[in-house]
Structure 1
Amino acid sequence: MKNDVKEFFDNSEHRPPKFGVLQGVKVVFSAIEVAGPLGPHFMAEWGADVIWLENVNGGDTNRNYRPSEHEHRNDRSMSLDIFSEDGMAVFKKLVKEADVFLVGGKGPSFIRKGITDEFLWAINPKLVITRISGYGQEDADPNYIDRPCYDGIAQAMSGYMSQNGTPESPMPAYPYVGDLFTAMFSLSSTLAALIRARETGKGESVDIAMTEVLMRLSTYNMVDYLNDGRMYPRPGAKDPIQGATGIYKTKNGFLFTNILGRKQMKTLFNMIGCEELYGVGDFKEGFSFINLNWDKADYVESKVEAYFKTKTNEEHIEIFDSMKVAAAPVLSFKDVVEHPQYKARDMWVDWDTMTTEEKYKGVNVVPRFKVNPTKIWRSMPHIGYDNDVILEDLGYSEEQINELYHKGVIFRNDRDK
């Protein structure tokens, strides 16, 4: 049975409905753009009550980009001057009720302003604190700890970018893997810490450096350098380690394939006219892949490329299916949207936004939870859209809330609408 993902959708509602595996979890975050906000956003899609703390001078700098509507659905927005006296009082009350506080920025900026782990645990001993920066919160080189770090900077500084591109030039991997991988590390580590905090009653502090995330994910190649000094060439569209793996030009497009397996190798050598090389020299019979260090690897790879150009994607896939080899055409967005696989999985969803008259089209919530399904209960909120209700739930009166607006401690850009 398909999930009615918009079952509770109501942009006029300011309190989240109860749904999902994270219902009852309260998350407060202060971060902009992608690496910081995306982890809490996934929690919001899975049922957590997520409060997005924005500044009172215009909110998140990414708000003007169309993807932000997608990546902030289900969030609640509070625009708060945290470091004013009244703002700090509000912040303390938020933290006291939260399970998670996540902050992103240049180095230990919040710590220097007094929001240390000890300060937060004095308010809420069970709090999970996640801090995201480019180079870490402590023990970093003083020349780097305060430097700004964006996706491309993290890729460049971590060695990740050096592995991508062509022999002539490295290139960044898109879309924004430094941001996206960091967000997934923050999501997983925060939830892991939350499990432990709930078991022990003692909070945790998680220090995530974007550069280190990409180093950890580069170990597939980096360990060969660390252990024997081996460097792999930038492969372009191919795998840097094994042949017959990567993107190949066909008669009608491009195909990605990963030809692995003992039987598959023998069949491949026959298909490309290299049967005399199978089981010869360094390529022993029974090998499951073509090691690019083999002295005949370049020749075999040229034969593979020539073979791919003789058939269409569809013809190749039929052959590879019979060989039990994974292969897929390189689909455009148009191909993906029209593909029967993704229609069958109900991957496309639209919703009403708070800022446009047209419906916004996006990707459905991933992954699927069978017992506690995910929901999209609202679109991206206006800046400070939920100030009043959040403050009311913290015990503030209407008069006190109006005073905070008057002082500029809170801001809501649609208040008169």
Structure 2
Amino acid sequence: MSDMPEFGLLAGYRVVMMGLSVAAPFAGELYAEHGAEVIWIENPKAVDSARVSRRSGAWQQDRRNMRSLSLNYMSEAGREAFLKLIATADVLIEASVGGRFDRIGLSDETLWESNPGLVVVHISGFGQTGVPEYVTRGSYDPIAQAFGCAMRMNGLPGQPSAPAMPFPADYAAAFYAFGMANAALLRRAKTGEGESIDVAQFEAMMRLQANYPHDYLRYGIDYVKEGNHSRICALYGTYEACDGEEIYILMLGPGAVKKTLGVLGVPYGTEDFPEGSTFVPVNTPQADIVEAKFAEYLSTHTAAEAEGELAALGVPCSRLMDYEQAREHPHYQARGVFTSWLGADESTEVQGVKVVPELSKNPGRIWRGAPNIGQDNELILSELGLSESDIAHMYERGELCARDYFEITE
């Protein structure tokens, strides 16, 4: 793979990624953006759901730097090629219903026969073990949010619950997969042994709920839906300014309380607002005072004006930004958040978000656009020792596919 530049913290590692939509591809993308060689195995007969249309940016953003091998790994020849590839890999990331790889004869033990040092990451909605009918259930991000007790937290009180967007269960699972796979690689450097990691999306959502599971299990205190305002603190939520734009503020902490009250003209260091107060409790006369004063303040200030004045004093707040505002914002521009690169056809400019986070000594890089379907079949398979004749026969039998995605969708 001599055309790939060497860069990043993960240079020299090879990752095989198998999965649709978001979770597994994003975990692979984190490797690809930081120097690992990532081979994306696609189904020759079914287009990845991220390639929904020519205008869909999911595959362009979250498959860049990858190579595409469009291979039927269930066929005899395809399975042989797949296991040859696994023998050269450091990490395999796959997303499917729990237990699928066992059922198709590709258990962890089988994979370790080809490569004892392989780190295997299984991402699923419900995990690889547990109650069988749940293990084999299909899942997407909102299903994991629903089963993981998270969706009921989102939305307005008294209204139907709503999924948090965009896709926190998918991205949480991807970050867990990336982090734990790297931990397993560190361990492998000492022992030479691979590892199998079971990432259940519903568990990822449960683990991200701070104190709330603990409070219920220990004290019987259940979560109460907050909506867009805190049920504990005054001036902690979303507010509309005089220009119709929204601002989010957290009057939380002694400094923020003192400075916000000063802006609002509310006496500080009094019996109602004692010095050192960390917040103003809701459903109190004091809360009514500061809420009314803040509404009065916003009636004569735009969201940008309010943000500028309050943030300059150290009060945590921000306008609710949209993409156009972000694109024109000087801080976004100073950090180069939005960038561009060439697509698979090497002529189309693709725009999106830069590699994050930034590293000072071994930065990530976008060196290649997201590949077309099977764009790297010959390159990968020939490196594994398959002859031109072998590869041609696999194409004839439909075990391989290569096509320009832009030609098949509108």
Task: Provide TM-score, normalisation by structure 1.
Answer: 0.89
- Report what 1:130 is aligned to: 121
Could you tell me how far apart the structure 1 residues matched to 2:367 and 2:124 are? Answer: 30
- Report what 1:287 is aligned to: 277
- Report what 1:38 is aligned to: 26
Query: Relative to structure 1, is the Cα distance of residues 298 and 194 closer, same or farther in structure 2, using a 3 angstrom cutoff?
Result: farther
Could you tell me how far apart the structure 1 residues matched to 2:269 and 2:216 are? Answer: 30
Query: Relative to structure 1, is the Cα distance of residues 296 and 229 closer, same or farther in structure 2, using a 3 angstrom cutoff?
Result: farther
- Report what 2:222 is aligned to: 231
- Report what 1:145 is aligned to: 135
- Report what 1:245 is aligned to: 236
349-358 or 190-199: bigger deviation: 349-358
1:364 CA drift (Å): 1.4
1:83 CA drift (Å): 1.4
Q: Please give the per-residue CA displacement for 1:176-228, whole angstroms capped at 9, x wherever unaligned.
A: 11212211111111111111112221111100011110000013433222222
- The amino acid that maps onto 1:57 is K
Could you tell me how far apart the structure 2 residues matched to 1:67 and 1:42 are? Answer: 14
Query: Relative to structure 1, is the Cα distance of residues 356 and 391 closer, same or farther in structure 2, using a 3 angstrom cutoff?
Result: closer
- Residue pair 2:259, 2:315 contacting (<8 A) in 1 also: no
**Within 5 Å, which residues of 2 pair with 1:180-195?**
180-195=171-186
- What is the SS of the residue equivalent to 1:411? coil
Q: Aligned to 1:157, which of 147, 161, 171?
A: 147
Could you tell me how far apart the structure 1 residues matched to 2:31 and 2:221 are? Answer: 40
Could you tell me how far apart the structure 1 residues matched to 2:226 and 2:114 are? Answer: 52
Higher relative contact order (CA 8 A, sep 6+): 1
- Residue pair 1:269, 1:278 contacting (<8 A) in 2 also: no
178-187 or 384-393: bigger deviation: 178-187
Q: How many residues align?
A: 401
Structure 2: segments with no counterpart, 5+ residues: none
284-293 or 148-157: bigger deviation: 284-293
Structure 1: segments with no counterpart, 5+ residues: 1-12
230-239 or 205-214: bigger deviation: 230-239
- Residue pair 2:258, 2:268 contacting (<8 A) in 1 also: no
Could you tell me how far apart the structure 1 residues matched to 2:289 and 2:345 are? Answer: 57
Query: Relative to structure 1, is the Cα distance of residues 345 and 272 closer, same or farther in structure 2, using a 3 angstrom cutoff?
Result: closer
1:286 CA drift (Å): 2.3
Q: Provide runs of 4+ in structure 1 moved above 6 Å.
A: none
1:275 CA drift (Å): 4.1
- Report what 1:265 is aligned to: 257
Could you tell me how far apart the structure 1 residues matched to 2:344 and 2:6 are? Answer: 22
- Report what 2:199 is aligned to: 208
Could you tell me how far apart the structure 1 residues matched to 2:403 and 2:71 are? Answer: 12
Task: Confirm or deny that 1:110 pairs with 2:63.
Answer: no
- Report what 1:406 is aligned to: 396
- The amino acid that maps onto 2:200 is A
- Report what 1:345 is aligned to: 335
- What is the SS of the residue equivalent to 1:214? helix
Q: Please give the per-residue CA displacement for 1:133-177, whole angstroms capped at 9, x wherever unaligned.
A: 000001x22231111111111111111111111012211111111
Could you tell me how far apart the structure 1 residues matched to 2:93 and 2:320 are? Answer: 37
- Report what 1:86 is aligned to: 77
- Report what 1:8 is aligned to: none
Task: Confirm or deny that 1:57 pairs with 2:45.
Answer: yes
Could you tell me how far apart the structure 2 residues matched to 1:195 and 1:404 are? Answer: 37
- Residue pair 1:242, 1:290 contacting (<8 A) in 2 also: yes
- The amino acid that maps onto 2:399 is V
- Report what 2:57 is aligned to: 66
1:240 CA drift (Å): 4.2
261-270 or 78-87: bigger deviation: 261-270
1:258 CA drift (Å): 1.7
1:51 CA drift (Å): 0.4
- Residue pair 2:7, 2:35 contacting (<8 A) in 1 also: yes
Query: Relative to structure 1, is the Cα distance of residues 14 and 147 closer, same or farther in structure 2, using a 3 angstrom cutoff?
Result: farther
- Report what 1:313 is aligned to: 303
- What is the SS of the residue equivalent to 1:93? helix
- Residue pair 2:268, 2:274 contacting (<8 A) in 1 also: no
1:355 CA drift (Å): 5.5
Task: Provide TM-score, normalisation by structure 2.
Answer: 0.90
Could you tell me how far apart the structure 2 residues matched to 1:295 and 1:135 are? Answer: 47
Task: Confirm or deny that 1:354 pairs with 2:344.
Answer: yes
314-323 or 209-218: bigger deviation: 314-323
- Superposed CA RMSD in Å reads 2.5
Could you tell me how far apart the structure 1 residues matched to 2:167 and 2:306 are? Answer: 32
Q: Please give the per-residue CA displacement for 1:306-328, whole angstroms capped at 9, x wherever unaligned.
A: 44334223432343235321222
1:251 CA drift (Å): 1.8
- Residue pair 2:260, 2:315 contacting (<8 A) in 1 also: no
- Report what 2:5 is aligned to: 17
- What is the SS of the residue equivalent to 1:143? helix
256-265 or 93-102: bigger deviation: 256-265
- The amino acid that maps onto 2:260 is L
- The amino acid that maps onto 2:176 is F
Could you tell me how far apart the structure 1 residues matched to 2:329 and 2:152 are? Answer: 34
Could you tell me how far apart the structure 2 residues matched to 1:305 and 1:185 are? Answer: 41
1:15 CA drift (Å): 4.5
- Report what 1:255 is aligned to: 247
- What is the SS of the residue equivalent to 1:205? strand
300-309 or 374-383: bigger deviation: 300-309
Could you tell me how far apart the structure 2 residues matched to 1:263 and 1:46 are? Answer: 39
